[in-house]
Structure 1
Amino acid sequence: MKTQGILLMLSLAGAAAFQPGARVGSMPRALKPLNMAAQEKSMNKDGLIYDPRTGRFYEKSIEEVCRDEFCTIDETTGEQVVLSVKEKERIFLDSLQAYYYDGSKVLNDDDFDQLKADLVWEGSPLATLNREETLFLNAMGAYMKGKPIISDAEFDALKAKLKEEGSMIAVATEPKCYVDTGVCKVTFVKDEARMATLYAPAFLIATFLWIGTAFEVFSFFRDINPIITLLAGSPLIYAGTKVGKEAPAQRPPPPRRFTKFNGRGAVCLRS
């Protein structure tokens, strides 16, 4: 009888939990699965927080990360945004060029020092400038002030050297527009992959012509390794590839037109 009474009391208590009039305080565990589901969107099993914008994992919240790193604020939401290495390099480069260009400061000293420290910690080569890059920035700033420190020929040679070395100071892969002059400029870099595809058809034709000629005309090439045959004809293949690439060239294209925007509209400038 005691056992039946205990079972009856347990069944009544369980049924009361599902009654419409039951109090929320009698079910303290009802909201826990919802909180856990919300946390699983930003935190994995190891307690790491994933930022989908940068693709990085953090051991602490975004607010705590921005206390130690340089971050920006979203103008729409007002929330702090963690930047990637490329974005930090772009801001650092814009700050340097703005300071040497007209003496203006994009960032204050504390933010600039923090940004540079982040780039040094993350191993960015842009944070440490060599002598040529420093001279280039100083020459650009002095020229804009009307007091050039090097001649135009020396400046062009210095910029060409930095472009060959792939320096981010002298090479601007994205267009930049100046509000005061309305001029947009960008540095064009030769695409080696596309250049190779242009030479590929002529290279294949020259290679097959050499192989056919070597095996049909020169009989002794039939008894040696084909690799040696290709090496022996490499000068002819190179010459044939170059001639085959440059021979079908048509007349030179017309001069490029660059667009300059002013307050009244767009003006085309011929290069």
Structure 2
Amino acid sequence: MYTFIKLGGSVITDKAGREAADLPLISRLAAEIAQARAANPNLRLIISHGSGSFGHHYAAKYGVHRGLAATADWMGFALTAGAALRLNRIVVDALLDAGLPALQLQPSAALVSAAGQISSWDTRNLALALSHGLCPIIHGDVAFDTTQGSAIISTEQLLAYLATSSDLRPSRIILVGEDAVYTADPRVDLNAERIPRIDASNIGEVLDSAAGSHAIDVTGGMRSKLDLMWQLIQTVPGLQVRLIGPQPGVLASALADAPLHVGTLMLDS
């Protein structure tokens, strides 16, 4: 079984800025992943990240996520893809510097969507990379879409496809983003409380109260991410999803299965 990691775009960049990568944070998270892999060489990782202030700006400006007609100006499509790749290069280089055998694999080179959903993705190189002990690095990306011309495929959609439509089934997914899921937006409600666990008993209430993203995000914000993760938990037996923040040591502890008193754990029961 595999561990999927997603480094949120709002964590590794300033999403309110323009191509503003948090280089020290990216380096620290890369070091924590390398630490976990060194402690457990059998840890099989697929690492992914969002586009944050890199890809989302161009996607929103040019409407790439809404679809482009065949006769439209596709410069925005190219700019969005280029921005996502620039951030991906930063992440991959940080992982390489930390000693991880990170391999950049651009999803749009092998993926086609229909109406904003992945219709096909040749994941053979992902599997081959893993078989050679490499760590594939993927990211939210543009896609050629057979229904609407163009689309944006979120990182969560990529992980969901791998979990359900390939042999790369995860036992856990670790999402590094918001510190946890809360009963309300902790930025505006001082009485917001952390929800340590989400399961069948409270998922409906959580989804009803989940807020959207706090900056430009063409992939749907927090509610859509929680909804998709819950669908995965119901589909993939034994899958656990952990949502954590980027505080020092938390990712390393999560990868080591150490007890955590932060974040939110999602599981079926």
TM-score (norm 2): 0.24
TM-score (norm 1): 0.24
Judging by fraction of residues, say which structure has more strand: 2
Relative contact order, CA 8 A, sep 6+: which one is greater? 2
User: Which protein is bigger by CA-based radius of gyration?
Assistant: 1
